[in-house]
Amino acid sequence: MSPDAWLTLAVVWMAAVATPGPNVAFTVATGLATPRPAAFLAAVGIGLGGIVYAVLALSGLGALLYASPTAFAAVRWLGVAYLVWLGLRALRPPTAPSAIRPARTPTQGRRLVAQGFAVMMANPKAVLAVGAILPPFLDPDRPALLQVTIMAATICAGSILVHCGYIAAAGRLAAWRPFTARPRLMRTLAGLVYLAAAAALAAVGV
């Protein structure tokens, strides 16, 4: 892959990632409800999911997922249920004042990575986007393994960068005085955004 082709791939992918959808709604809600820098771990999870989808798309396995309506629907509705659960949990009144924006332990940090990964993998159309964008950049005259590695790394890094930007913007909003003075309002907004992400994912394929 030439440097020009790589740069084009990076720009195209980051533009696609920045388009509002379930993943963006998830990272915005996480940025509202979770203190930084721990919140950025959710973006890492999405980036790791991007690596998996890049490998699936370039190996042709992604097409098998799309060709199976049952598998496509099962993955999607599991993701919807998970996002609804996150939204309802955020809307539920905290049991103690410290539960509003708790300090994150290493275990909870790993949970954020897992949440981001799960949300990415629960969006079947993500593999279709990867499958549409990556193949045209494959050069048959160059080693395939090296190209797949570069593309997967680009998908991962681009996803992390864009979603970190959304998380940072949401974190600044959460630090706005009306929210810091009314932490319950911040949790409510985060919960509603999680539910919006669930609705967006439910609409996939409709």
DSSP summary character for residue 105 = P
Cβ-count burial of 13 within 10 angstroms (0-12 exposed, 13-18 middle, 19+ buried)? buried
On whether the CB atoms of residues 124 and 66 are closer than 8 A, the answer is yes
Residue 189's alpha-carbon distances to 31, 76, 92, 95, 120, in angstroms, are: 11, 24, 12, 18, 22
Comparing 38-52, 62-76, 128-142, 165-179, the range with the smallest average pLDDT is: 62-76
Q: What was the pLDDT predicted at 97?
A: 46
Report which of residues 109 and 167 the model is more confident about. Answer: 167
Which pLDDT belongs to residue 44?
Answer: 95
pLDDT above 50 for 99: no
Residue 105 in this model has a pLDDT that exceeds 90: no
pLDDT tens string 23-56: 888 898 888 888 888 889 999 999 999 998 888 7
Query: Could you tell me if residue 72 is left (phi over 0), alpha (psi between -120 and 50 degrees) or otherwise beta?
Result: alpha
Residue-level pLDDT at 130:
80
Q: How many helices (H) and strands (E) does the chain have?
A: 10, 0
d(CA 25, CA 46): 12
